[in-house]
Homo-oligomer: A and B are copies of this chain.
């Protein structure tokens, strides 16, 4: 059976030693009194909840899946999911990052982010149920009317109700401009919504008393395309004036999908049959309002992948230490045994260290961006808010696509460490691979992320956001330029920074001539940019570890080894990617459609 130990030590390292989170929070009036002890205590409890309550129902949840009753439209998640959710609510976890005005604890996003990494490690499928509630909360908080806020926010905050995002329809996923669900205004100011939505995570279940669906639909006078889409709040049950629940609103689950993974998460086909909803934000401006949720969700998906990478790594390490097979090529390491444990073999270590470097690097990046979001939301300095917002905008597609691609590689490596046993369900490793695969698809495919990065975030403002982030790297390179011990990290970082600058300029020039050049290079470009961000963070982590080398704590030695591994074995991938990015779009477009 798989194991999971919350990686609290590494979280502490990133939060306190790398990023000095509590110092940063002191500069945000709203979070000034959130100190190190508070953060650590919360994470320790969160880790217990994840490992003791959620993790034991992960493998069984995958095997059982969800069930759908065609008559009642009810959906039952796997055994234990409902009870775990009740404990989650009782423990006050949904309240953590919510506004005290609605019953929240007002802790910063960065702490919630760490909690969620552990929930995802323990049980990604289960975490899909509460996962979108906070995003729905953020959306209503930013765009809802006072009545919507007072009706929905306390219930989302307590976790009594959960939330969904209802975007996709059979004929439109990426291209929301094609959506058809209709919203007819009623005389009482509400709307009747009619249409079909698919791929709605946690669209129906019995874990919470009510579900708040945030639904994209078209008003009768809507312009065509993406500028004619409005956002509506549709409650599973009508909410009476006193806040209690009334009749069922006709938004029903018609079927659930049978999927490659996250089988414990109900992926619902939802039918809106004249369901009553209220408008959120301005008419026809629904996509903008929904983007608050979508950006949060994209970071959440990156975090899911860090969680899966961590748990897959932990299990693969345990197996590699335990499994006896073949002798080391350089001579027996366990002479009293009939063979050595497989961790002596260089390629087994390479697979393990790949997962480790991606888990720890992804954790550092995730926490880094979560803290930036806290700055964006809570700093009292407008310039800092603006700067943080720019960094968040730039990094969001990287977090989503780079971390999810990495998890696909890493979980597959961890499974490979098990040999044939990795392919067998009972060992639990293949589930991590299957669960990880969805992360490259949902909340905008990784191709869409790459177009967002290169087309919109980088070339869209003539490289201004990239330059700002590059200044952080340049400052660090400058600062460490005379530190001999740091040269092994600083040199490749500075070199890659130069290459990214040149590549960006080159692609920008090409894109002037042919807009398709962006699409031809974007995926390679995102991966190169991801490595640049990782190289920056790994170099900074190496600096902290170097400073602690004398402490004798093996944690720092391991951090340094992992940093060196990253620079030696993973970063060089950029050499090939830069070549393919530069080779242009012609080799992709030359073939006529009929020849495929």
Contacting pair B561 A595 (CB below 8 A): yes
Expressed in whole angstroms, the Cα–Cα distance for A96 and B161 within the complex equals 64
Contacting pair A168 B420 (CB below 8 A): yes
Any B CB within 8 A of the CB of A486: no
Residues of B within 8 A of A437 (CB): 412, 415, 423, 430, 433
Query: Contacts A347-B523, A596-B343 hold; do A591 and B447 have CB atoms under 8 A apart?
Result: no
Identify which of residues 544-593 in chain A touch chain B, using a CB-to-CB cut-off of 8 Å: 554, 557-558, 561-562, 564-565, 568-569, 572-577, 579-580, 583-585, 587-593
Any B CB within 8 A of the CB of A328: yes
Any B CB within 8 A of the CB of A233: no
A338, A415, A438, A514: residue with the most chain B Cβ atoms closer than 10 Å: A338
Query: Contacts A343-B593, A433-B260 hold; do A569 and B580 have CB atoms under 8 A apart?
Result: yes
A198, A514, A590: residue with the most chain B Cβ atoms closer than 10 Å: A590
Any B CB within 8 A of the CB of A257: yes
The interface stretch among A69-77, A170-178, A382-390 is A170-178
Query: Contacts A562-B591, A565-B587 hold; do A520 and B433 have CB atoms under 8 A apart?
Result: no
Which residue of the partner chain B has the closest CB to A170?
Answer: B421
The interface stretch among A115-123, A348-356, A391-399 is A348-356
Any B CB within 8 A of the CB of A442: yes
How far, in Å, is A312 (CB) from chain B's closest CB? 13
Contacting pair B515 A423 (CB below 8 A): no
Any B CB within 8 A of the CB of A4: no
Contacting pair B572 A573 (CB below 8 A): no
Any B CB within 8 A of the CB of A209: no
Contacting pair B575 A588 (CB below 8 A): no
Contacting pair A519 B425 (CB below 8 A): no
Expressed in whole angstroms, the Cα–Cα distance for A338 and B225 within the complex equals 9
Any B CB within 8 A of the CB of A228: no
Identify which of residues 414-448 in chain A touch chain B, using a CB-to-CB cut-off of 8 Å: 415-416, 419-420, 422-426, 430, 433-434, 437-438, 440-442, 445-447
Residues of B within 8 A of A306 (CB): none
Contacting pair B420 A442 (CB below 8 A): yes
Identify which of residues 426-473 in chain A touch chain B, using a CB-to-CB cut-off of 8 Å: 426, 430, 433-434, 437-438, 440-442, 445-447, 450, 455
Residue pairs across A and B with Cβ atoms less than 8 A apart, 27 shown, are A178-B339, A198-B420, A260-B423, A260-B433, A261-B423, A321-B593, A321-B596, A329-B516, A345-B519, A346-B585, A346-B589, A347-B523, A356-B596, A408-B412, A412-B437, A415-B437, A416-B441, A419-B445, A430-B437, A433-B437, A558-B596, A561-B590, A561-B591, A562-B591, A564-B590, A568-B583, A576-B576
Give residues in A with beta carbon < 8 Å to B.
168, 171-175, 177-178, 198-199, 224, 257-261, 317, 320-321, 324-326, 328-331, 338-339, 341, 343, 345-350, 352-353, 356, 408, 412, 415-416, 419-420, 422-426, 430, 433-434, 437-438, 440-442, 445-447, 450, 455, 514-516, 518-520, 522-523, 554, 557-558, 561-562, 564-565, 568-569, 572-577, 579-580, 583-585, 587-596
Which 7 pairs of residues, A with B, have the shortest CB-CB distance?
A346-B519, A572-B579, A260-B430, A568-B587, A558-B595, A346-B520, A561-B591
